[in-house]
């Protein structure tokens, strides 16, 4: 879009310059066609009057051409100003798009961290249920007297491993919640 805008402005300005030069060349032709005659009699003055009138007309045309040139310069300045404003608007739009992308990226990170927090919470609840089941089985076997000292130690090791796993998951949960809090700030 930027290239199209620049190309259009250049084409308009080149057309204006082309026609402005063409007008200037016409004035030169008119100036070269006029001839200076000397006034000797009243009859000659009547004949010379159209020449003087054409000379005055060329001066008026020169003034008109000057006005047109000034108008063309003003138009060119206005087009340059419009081009600068268009570039400024385009830059602002790009900045807005960058900010929008950054915001969307941040929202995606927040969503993913919330999902990871919920996954960790489900894992913790699952492990706590497993721990409760292990403790219940251990108590049943212990109350029935089916366990000897090595069996008791094995069951205690299973229970402690499960507790360690829960503690690690809780640490991961704390880290994930801190990360989420930083993203939200």
DSSP secondary structure, the chain, as one string: -HHHHHHHHHHHHHHHHHHHHHHHHHHHHHHHH-------SHHHHHHHHHHHHHHHHHHHHHHHHHHHHHHHHHHHHHHHHHHHHHHHHHHHHHHHHHHHHHHHHHHHHHHHHHHHHHHHHHHHHHHHHHHHHHHHHHHHHHHHT---HHHHHHHHHHHHHHHHHHHHHHHHHHHHHHHHHHHH-
pLDDT given at position 96: 95
Predicted TM-score of the model (pTM): 0.52
> Which tens digits make up the pLDDT trace of 3-37?
887 878 877 777 676 676 544 444 444 444 444 44
Residue numbers in the chain where pLDDT is lower than 70? 15, 17-18, 20-57
């Amino acid at each position: 879009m930027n290239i199209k805008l620049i190309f259009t402005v250049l084409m308009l300005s080149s057309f204006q310059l082309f026609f402005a030069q063409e007008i200037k060349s016409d004035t030169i032709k008119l100036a070269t066609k006029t001839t200076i005659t000397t006034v000797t009699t009243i009859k000659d003055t009547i004949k010379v009057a159209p020449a003087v009138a054409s000379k005055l007309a060329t001066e008026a045309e020169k003034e008109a051409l000057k006005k047109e040139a000034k108008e063309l310069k003003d138009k060119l300045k206005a087009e340059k100003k419009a081009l600068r404003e268009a570039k400024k608007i385009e830059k602002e739009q790009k900045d807005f798009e960058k900010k929008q992308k950054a915001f969307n990226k941040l929202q995606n990170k927040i969503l993913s961290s919330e999902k990871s927090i919920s996954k960790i919470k489900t894992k913790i609840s699952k492990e706590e249920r497993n721990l409760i089941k292990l403790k219940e089985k251990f108590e049943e076997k212990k109350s029935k007297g089916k366990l000897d000292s090595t069996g008791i130690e094995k069951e205690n090791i299973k229970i402690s491993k499960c507790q360690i796993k829960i503690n690690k998951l809780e640490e991961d949960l704390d880290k994930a919640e801190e990360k989420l809090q930083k993203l939200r700030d």
